[in-house]
Amino acid sequence: MRHTRTTRTRLIGTLTAALLGAAGLAAPATAAAPPPAPAVDDGLALTPPMGFNNWNSTHCRAEFDEAMVKGIADLMVDKGLKDAGYQYVNLDDCWALPSRDADGKLVPDPARFPHGIEAVADYVHAKGLKFGIYTSAGTKTCDGAGFPGALGHEYSDARQFADWGVDYLKYDNCNNQGVDARQRYTTMRDALRATGRPIVYSICEWGENKPWEWAADVGHLWRTTGDISDNWGSMLSILKQNLPLADHAGPGHWNDPDMLEVGNGGMTGTEYRSHFSLWAVMAAPLLIGADLRTASAETFEILGNREVVAVDQDPLGRQGRVVSSEGGRWVVAKEMRDGSRAVALFNESDTAQRVTTTAEEAGLPAAGAYTLRDLWRHRTFNTAGTISATVPAHGTVLVRVAADGRWAQHPPAVELGLDGGLLFEPGRTVPLTSTVTDLGRTAAQRVSVSLSGPAGWSLRPRTPVTSPALPTGRALRTRWEITVPRGTPTGPYALTLTVRHRSPAGDRVETALPLTATVVSAPPPGTSELGDLPWLSATNGWGPVERGTSNGESGSGDGNPITIGGVVYGTGLGVHAESTVGYYTGGACETVTAHVGVDDEEGADGTVAFEVWADGTRAASTGVLTNAMPAQPLTADVTGAQVVRLVVTDGGDGVTSDHGDWAEARLSC
């Protein structure tokens, strides 16, 4: 496993370097990438395809069958998804029998599709929807069961698909016999064309051959990455690979960061709203990947958000560009045909953060004020130019901003913020300050702020919670004192900061900021092994942070004894860059000590740097360490810090093989 992942990381690094190199040769770094080849000029997929595909919910399991596909088609109509723009009902792998018939024709699996494929296509068409199918540009498809692929059968298979009424083909990459990708995918394009039937052509070679550079006149969309899975890390990694490819997308030729996981259960509602918002702002194909027959109301609400769908489907066909990204705070802006910009304020990090930009940075012309539509709250405001929000961990605020002159009809946008950590030791009083800032060109009137939390918690304002009026840029700052009852178990708890205000016209506006408070216990006095103490949070480049062993890159407990320069250590933490492990120290500790280095298990590879942070101050750092170096002693003065963080960076050269060991890491309090 380790070697596969390492190889893949290296490959991505090489691709990125190659991309940068290519851009650098042609023009200065700031210039746009070379224009893509002319797109397929057939009027198909002028906006990113929308619909359903069964793979993310069923894989090859038996529940993928005619009843499922018909049930999904029914629900797409009945639940309003068809009206919202979802159109294709697509079959993925495993619909066929493993062998062709005597004439070389594909045979539908009679257990799954007892009436054949054409009958399912007819059913889908009768609902006013379109129908898609799957095969591979290889000798077999991707599933281990080994279904026939189309390599060498392109014209016959395309004919069969067209005869069945297929409107969309996903063409995968497995078992490709090393035949040139461009050749394989172009042959199928020509075979589809030869049928005379309009068929959207989805290239699925996982970004391996940089299809964004050559496939614009081959297919209508191309996968840019490996497969998505239903978890936060997978979604995030795919997002980061797809964002830099914005210049290559446009009507009829889209980057495809893979199908949606919304509703499959592996992410929170907040994370699924981020996934959906970010796919929309990237003009990604929106293929629902959840079994709608068992989907929750929240799943339908996310997938059915027409204002977000409109961002994705904007006819100008621009993929959003990264305006800024720092410290897990992302701003991505998408130009829309009406001149407005869709702006995603995305917080990748594990704590609420303020994410901010301006109308100008988002690409809008100078104006006295702008209208700002919040696409999840479905409310419109005016802003004097700041586009800003405190965004919950893993959340996205998605807005559409326009310089349209009608801004004064709408109440002013206000921004909610909170200064101070949300860490509470039971019985101790903690101060916090909330801020309510008027972002509008008009004044926020009759402003009042409140803070709510679990029963029994004391949440007392010490300064005023109201203001008669806040003009542009002015803030109401309120100091709070919070006491958590003794005996409260450690863990996360929900707090909500709410502000109510009125517009000059008297409209009422309520804005809520959900927050996570963490109840912590005081650090033990004396010297403790950091490998034994509970942590507040841990992020890691591959797999989980390990206690007492090196990092094995996959599951928990898959590491080796911590070994640096031939010396084996009995205690410590094993991490993989980029990594941060945070501990609550509550102002009661003095020193962190450790022996640090790259674990011997990576041979000669791996370069990292170790840092210890005391709140916002870097209290110690090693500089770049290589695998050839013995363990370095490290001591950090953390006196007075509320939180201590152990950080391992990639040493500036990417994370490949970066197994960092915090051997004998100790905390004195």
CB of 154 to ligand GLA, least distance (A): 18
Q: What is the DSSP string of 414-472?
A: EEEEEES--EE-TT-EEEEEEEEEE-SSSPEEEEEEEEE-STT-EEEESS--EEEEE-T
Residues 157-196 as x/- pattern, contact with ligand GLA by CB under 6 A: ---------------x------------------------
Q: Which is nearer to ligand GLA, 93 or 599 (CB)?
A: 93
CB of 292 to ligand GLA, least distance (A): 19
Q: In what order do the strands lie in the sheet with 88-90?
A: 254-256, 221-223, 200-203, 168-172, 130-136, 88-90, 50-53, 286-288
What are the two backbone dihedrals, phi and then psi, of residue 375, each rounded to the nearest 5 degrees? -80, -10
Of 40, 45, 81, 142, the one binding ligand GLA (CB under 6 A) is 142
Residues 394-433 as x/- pattern, contact with ligand GLA by CB under 6 A: ----------------------------------------
Q: 139: buried, middle or exposed (CB in 10 Å: 19+, 13-18, 0-12)? A: middle
CB of 217 to ligand GLA, least distance (A): 22
Asked if omega into 361 is within 30° of 0 (cis), the reply is: no
For residues 340 and 401, what is the distance between their CA atoms, to the nearest angstrom? 6
74-82, 135-143, 187-195, 314-322 -> range binding ligand GLA (CB under 6 A): 135-143
143 part of the interface to ligand GLA, by CB under 6 A: yes
For residues 265 and 396, what is the distance between their CA atoms, to the nearest angstrom? 19
Of the residues 74, 227, 247, 615, only one is catalytic, namely 227
Task: Establish how many alpha carbons lie within 13 A of residue 324's alpha carbon, considering only the half-sphere containing its beta carbon.
Answer: 15
650 is catalytic: no
CB of 142 to ligand GLA, least distance (A): 3
Of 6, 49, 69, 93, the one binding ligand GLA (CB under 6 A) is 93
CB of 227 to ligand GLA, least distance (A): 5
**Strands 444-452, 491-502: parallel, antiparallel or unpaired by DSSP?**
antiparallel
Of 76, 133, 181, 204, the one binding ligand GLA (CB under 6 A) is 204
Element (H, E) at 19: helix 2-26
637 part of the interface to ligand GLA, by CB under 6 A: no
Q: 50: buried, middle or exposed (CB in 10 Å: 19+, 13-18, 0-12)? A: buried
Which contacts (CB < 8 Å, 24+ apart) does range 457-465 have? 457/482, 457/483, 457/484, 457/485, 457/493, 458/482, 458/483, 459/495, 462/431
Site size for ligand GLA, by CB under 6 A? 9
Percentages (nearest 5) of helix, strand, coil residues in the chain: 20, 35, 45
Q: Which is nearer to ligand GLA, 112 or 318 (CB)?
A: 112
Of 261, 514, 517, the residue nearest 397 (C-alpha): 514
For residues 304 and 378, what is the distance between their CA atoms, to the nearest angstrom? 13
256 is catalytic: no
CB of 204 to ligand GLA, least distance (A): 5
What tokens appear for 484 in the block?
A: 């958590």
For residues 125 and 165, what is the distance between their CA atoms, to the nearest angstrom? 9
Of 52, 55, 171, 613, the one binding ligand GLA (CB under 6 A) is 55
Q: Which is nearer to ligand GLA, 42 or 227 (CB)?
A: 227
Q: Which is nearer to ligand GLA, 225 or 503 (CB)?
A: 225
What tokens appear for 418 in the block?
A: 């909170």
Q: Which is nearer to ligand GLA, 143 or 213 (CB)?
A: 143
For residues 195 and 133, what is the distance between their CA atoms, to the nearest angstrom? 15
Residues 226-255 as x/- pattern, contact with ligand GLA by CB under 6 A: -x----------------------------
End-to-end CA distance of the chain: 40
Q: Which is nearer to ligand GLA, 54 or 627 (CB)?
A: 54
| Footprint of ligand GLA on 576-615 (CB under 6 A) | none
Of the residues 93, 167, 172, 230, only one is catalytic, namely 172
Of 92, 154, 167, 650, the one binding ligand GLA (CB under 6 A) is 92
205 part of the interface to ligand GLA, by CB under 6 A: no
Cβ-closest residue to ligand GLA? Answer: 142
Q: Which is nearer to ligand GLA, 172 or 348 (CB)?
A: 172
For residues 541 and 580, what is the distance between their CA atoms, to the nearest angstrom? 9
141-149, 181-189, 333-341, 499-507 -> range binding ligand GLA (CB under 6 A): 141-149
CB of 613 to ligand GLA, least distance (A): 40
CB of 166 to ligand GLA, least distance (A): 16
For residues 412 and 473, what is the distance between their CA atoms, to the nearest angstrom? 11
| Footprint of ligand GLA on 535-564 (CB under 6 A) | none
Query: Interface with ligand GLA by CB under 6 A: which residues?
Result: 55, 92-93, 141-143, 172, 204, 227
Query: What residues act catalytically?
Result: 172, 227
